[in-house]
Amino acid sequence: MHGSRRVVLQSGERDHASYRSSGDREARRRARRIARAGRALVPARRAPTDNVSELTARTNDEGWETVFAAWLRTSKANDKDAIFVFSVGGGDAERNVSANLVHALDEGKRRGLKIFGVVGRNGGHTKKIGDNVIVVPTVDAALVTPHTESFQAVVWHCLVSHPQLQIKETKR
């Protein structure tokens, strides 16, 4: 996707947590590196969670349910961009589960963004409206969350280990 940018959204218990560890800071740097891949002359777009102060202000002003959709509305995201979702359930509009993710995906679709995802359970809203979504099969209902998140970690590591996206060479 030459000339494209990506926005990574993560749903679940941690999608409102601030980044606290050096590993999280490294993940943010890698996410920005992924956003820059293939377009050296175009500045990277920041993720909505990069600025915790802005995210908190938006949440206070607009509410948690629409914070990511509101961020997308003010962004320069267009049909050359994509949203990449990591979520266990993928959001559910009818049951009002991960409403912030559902609204962000709907806004992304309205703007012509591609939607990619790695989700668990039945894939939820992400699977329903996404362009390319991997649904991690349920092996044991009691272990849906750890299995899904483990597979997401493998996908994430494959992305950040890709030679064009790496910040540092992989240890041998």
Spatial contact of 120 and 89, defined as CB atoms under 8 Å apart: yes
170 within domain boundaries: no
Residue 26 has which token pair? 């490294």
31 within domain boundaries: yes
Number of separate domains in the chain: 1
Spatial contact of 28 and 47, defined as CB atoms under 8 Å apart: yes
Q: Name the average pLDDT for the chain.
A: 78
167 within domain boundaries: no
Per residue in 74-132, pLDDT (tens digit) is 888 889 889 999 999 999 999 999 999 999 999 999 999 999 999 999 999 999 999 99
Q: What is the pLDDT of residue 154?
A: 94
Q: Would you place residue 62 in the very low, low, confident or very high pLDDT band (cuts 50, 70, 90)? A: confident
Q: Which residue has the higher pLDDT, 98 or 168?
A: 98
171 within domain boundaries: no
Helix (H) or strand (E) holding 100: helix 99-110
13 within domain boundaries: yes
Show the domain range for 90.
Answer: 5-160
Q: Would you place residue 23 in the very low, low, confident or very high pLDDT band (cuts 50, 70, 90)? A: very low
CA distances from 167 to 63, 79, 113 (A): 35, 27, 26
Q: What is the pLDDT of residue 8?
A: 54
Average pLDDT over residues 135-164: 92
pTM higher than 0.75, yes or no? no
Q: What is the pLDDT of residue 26?
A: 56
Main-chain dihedrals φ then ψ at residue 47, nearest 5 degrees: -85, 155
Q: What is the pLDDT of residue 155?
A: 93
Angle at 148 between CA 117 and CA 83, to 5 degrees: 15
Give CA–CA dist 169/134, Å, rounded: 28
Q: What is the pLDDT of residue 64?
A: 87
Give CA–CA dist 8/32, Å, rounded: 10
CATH number of domain containing 75: 3.40.50.10490
Q: Which residue has the higher pLDDT, 15 or 105?
A: 105
Residue length, the chain? 172
